[in-house]
Amino acid sequence: MDTRVILVRHCEAEGNFKRLFQGSTDAPVSEKGRVQLELLSVRCRNMPIDKIYASPLRRARETAEAINRYHHLSIEVRDGLREIDGGQMENQPFEQFPVLYPEQAEHWNRQPWLFCPPGGESMRHVYDRIWKTVLELVQENVGKTICAASHGCAIRNFLCRASGRPIERLNEMDWCDNTGMSIVDFDEQLRPHIVVMNDASHLTGESSTFATQDWWKPENRGSDVFR
């Protein structure tokens, strides 16, 4: 019997539209983020969900609450679902990274598996941490459908591993728009099968964060584009 995991990236928060490294910064949800939550709640209304989890950061918790609007389940916070800790780079503009942190800026865009912000969490740790966390949730909910509100970098690492790729191939993975959804089924041997990846079809052009940004586009991986 398969166990289904629905991973949802949090709604737009202040750091997303200002292009700040918000990582573990508990930034408030933006006005556009509120619109995204409304659209997400409607999308999730008739989806079968048995349990909802969230990162402790409020942008993820509020996303979990929107998912839960028509389900009325308990929401459990799991620290392992949180975003990468940016250390000294926290809450600073991405566009300044090539000047302030040239080596880490190079790693972030070109070799993300080497990214390790001073005083923060390495990308390799995120790759292992998010995988371990999701497997724990699967083992606690065998045969059920669970939904977890998490973060862009964390989800990208999870999908990399779920697709059978080592972290050194992380740049092959697409980024996910805010409130985008991925679905992964795990069999009884905990082998993953990706059903849906980074689907944000519930968003309109006006409600999409990515519609106004370029950094996430595949052609800009391995470049100095941070806008």
How many residues belong to the chain? 227
- Predicted local distance difference test score (pLDDT) of residue 64: 98
Q: What is the mean pLDDT of residues 109-115?
A: 95
Kindly state the tokens that stand for 79. Answer: 């620290």
> What's the CA gap between 65 and 69, in Å, rounded?
6
| Mean of per-residue pLDDT scores for the chain | 96
CA–CA separation, 77 vs 55, rounded Å? Answer: 6
Give pLDDT, residue 77.
98
pLDDT digits (tens, 9 = 90+) for 216-226: 999 888 777 78
User: Which distant-in-sequence residues (6+ apart) come within 8 Å of 30 by Cβ?
Assistant: 11, 12, 13, 14, 16, 17
pLDDT value for 11 = 98
* pLDDT average, residue stretch 175-197: 98
Q: pLDDT tens for residues 128-157? A: 999 999 999 999 999 999 999 999 999 999
Mean per-residue pLDDT for 188-200?
98
| Confidence (pTM) | 0.96
Per-residue model confidence (pLDDT) at position 86? 97
Is 227 a residue whose pLDDT tops 80? no
- CATH numeric code, 3-211: 3.40.50.1240
Write out the E strands in the chain.
3-9, 51-54, 75-77, 145-150, 181-186, 192-199
Residues 71-93 have a mean pLDDT of 97
